[in-house]
């Protein structure tokens, strides 16, 4: 397990989660896929989340005490593991809320089996499946990354603008992969694009040569890979590069990793949630000052997810779980004093002084009534062996 999954210690709150007094320690959960298909992305994501906690604790302005992060590894691909980790956080660690999970399938399982029965808020930085929008979550689930119902059409419009009018499409056989593929193909074909072959792939297979051969049989030189960088997506690319089946690639956000960019030629591209230039520059500066890679995929969304939990607790004047739920949309959205990344001390003081805040954060947070962010996307191209943002799409 990666070194950034650390053991934390702290005073455990009572089961009632009553308002903490000064000098108390309050627990918040961080449920992320420290191992599994997003492993190469989790370092900056965890760094972003914990930077928000460090900032709040250093300010001395959070009224409920000192925030302690309880980490759990969801492994991303096994819902049972994610459920068990979330239940431990809720029942044993008495967390006031959970930042995470990451992968959409695990997130849906945690919503149904843990969040709703126990009445606890979860804010995910990266669960993007459109299916989560209609899942009965009782108002306990929020996310700082936009739904793939938006990412799919963005990828399609970029592909058409780049003159990529035909391609094969492969997706992870997961809630994330299927949801993004459906959204993309529907939009792409409506714009005049042709999908020569579309097929799902399983993760963690030993050999993907048969998958790639079937995908290339349609005759396209372009392959859209809508999966995970550390598992099946990586295997698909390796098999394609070994045989020369495809000459260029298009990626969804689950593939935006150094693992991917180091394996393909310059010119391939993908999309990932990203703020506008001004907010993005501010976030990178704040992250760098805190020792975090602010360019990492979902690192900014992770900071925002944890910051929203902290600010909602401050607005509630409590660590009570239902009270936190009631304040998330209030602190996330206008009207109020705009609060950006790196300014949590000011935001906490505004709230304790009775002033409303509009948390803009690192990514320009604005949540819809269902708790999903209305974000923008970076068109990121592989240049010099690394993904580089070339345009922001709103």
Instruction: Count other C-beta atoms under 10 Å from residue 374's C-beta.
Output: 13
Q: What is the pLDDT of residues 8-23, one digit of tens each?
A: 333 222 222 333 345 6
Contact, 171 vs 255, CB < 8 A? no
> For residue 328, what pLDDT is reported?
98
Write down the pTM of the prediction.
0.92
Q: What is the pLDDT along the chain (394 residues), one digit of tens a residue?
A: 233 343 333 322 222 233 334 569 999 999 999 999 999 999 999 999 999 999 999 999 999 999 999 999 999 989 999 999 999 999 999 999 999 999 999 999 999 999 999 999 999 999 999 999 999 999 999 999 999 999 999 999 999 999 999 999 999 999 999 999 999 999 999 999 999 999 999 998 999 999 999 999 999 999 999 999 999 999 999 999 999 999 999 999 999 999 999 999 999 999 999 999 999 999 999 999 999 999 999 999 999 999 999 999 999 999 999 999 999 999 999 999 999 999 999 999 999 999 999 999 999 999 999 999 988 999 999 999 999 999 999 8
Every domain of the chain and the residues it spans: 25-147+277-361, 150-273+381-393
314-349 b/e (C-beta count within 10 Å ≥ 16 → b):
bbbebbbbebbbebbbbbbbeebeebbbbbbeebbe
Q: What is the pLDDT of residues 219-253, one digit of tens each?
A: 999 999 999 999 999 999 999 999 999 999 999 99
Contact, 270 vs 229, CB < 8 A? no
Distance set, CA 168 to CA 196, 198, 368, 381 (Å): 5, 6, 33, 19
CATH topology agreement for domains 25-147+277-361 and 150-273+381-393: yes
Measuring CA to CA, which residue among 50, 36, 37 is closest to residue 4?
Answer: 50
* CATH architecture entry for 25-147+277-361: 3-Layer(aba) Sandwich (3.40)
CATH 3.40.50.2300 for domain 150-273+381-393, yes or no, is yes
């Amino acid at each position: 397990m990666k070194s950034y999954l650390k053991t934390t210690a702290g005073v455990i709150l009572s089961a009632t989660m009553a308002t903490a007094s000064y000098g108390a320690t309050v627990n918040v959960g961080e449920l992320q896929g420290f191992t599994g298909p997003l492993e190469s992305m989790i370092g900056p994501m965890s760094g972003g989340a914990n930077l928000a906690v460090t900032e709040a604790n250093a300010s001395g302005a959070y009224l409920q005490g000192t925030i302690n992060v309880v980490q759990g590894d969801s492994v991303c691909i096994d819902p049972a593991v994610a459920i068990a980790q979330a239940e431990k956080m809720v029942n044993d660690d008495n967390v006031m809320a959970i930042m995470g999970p990451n992968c959409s399938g695990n997130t849906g399982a945690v919503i149904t089996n843990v969040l709703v029965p126990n009445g606890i808020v979860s804010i995910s930085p990266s669960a993007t499946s459109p299916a989560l929008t209609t899942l009965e979550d009782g108002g306990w689930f929020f996310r700082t990354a936009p739904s793939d119902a938006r990412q799919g059409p963005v990828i399609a419009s970029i592909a058409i603008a780049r003159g990529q009018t035909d391609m094969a499409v492969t997706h992870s056989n997961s809630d994330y992969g299927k949801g993004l593929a459906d959204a993309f193909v529907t939009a792409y074909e409506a714009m005049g694009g042709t999908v020569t072959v579309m097929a799902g792939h399983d993760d963690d297979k030993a050999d993907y040569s048969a998958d790639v051969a079937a995908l290339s049989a349609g005759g396209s030189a372009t392959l859209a890979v809508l999966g995970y960088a550390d598992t099946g997506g990586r295997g698909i690319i390796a098999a394609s590069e070994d045989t020369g089946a495809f000459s260029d690639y298009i990626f969804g956000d689950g593939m935006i990793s150094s693992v991917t960019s180091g394996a393909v030629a310059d010119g391939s591209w993908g999309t990932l949630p990203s703020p506008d230039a001004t907010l993005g520059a501010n976030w990178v500066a704040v992250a760098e000052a805190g020792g975090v890679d602010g360019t990492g995929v979902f690192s900014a969304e992770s900071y925002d997810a944890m910051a929203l939990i902290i600010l909602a607790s401050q607005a509630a004047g409590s660590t009570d779980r239902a009270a936190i739920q009631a304040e998330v949309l209030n602190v996330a959205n206008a009207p109020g004093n705009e609060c950006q990344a790196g300014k949590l001390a000011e935001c906490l003081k505004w709230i304790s002084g009775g002033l409303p805040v509009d948390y803009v954060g690192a990514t320009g947070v604005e949540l819809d009534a269902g708790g999903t962010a209305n974000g923008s996307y970076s068109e990121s191209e592989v240049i010099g062996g690394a993904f580089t943002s070339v345009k922001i799409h709103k």
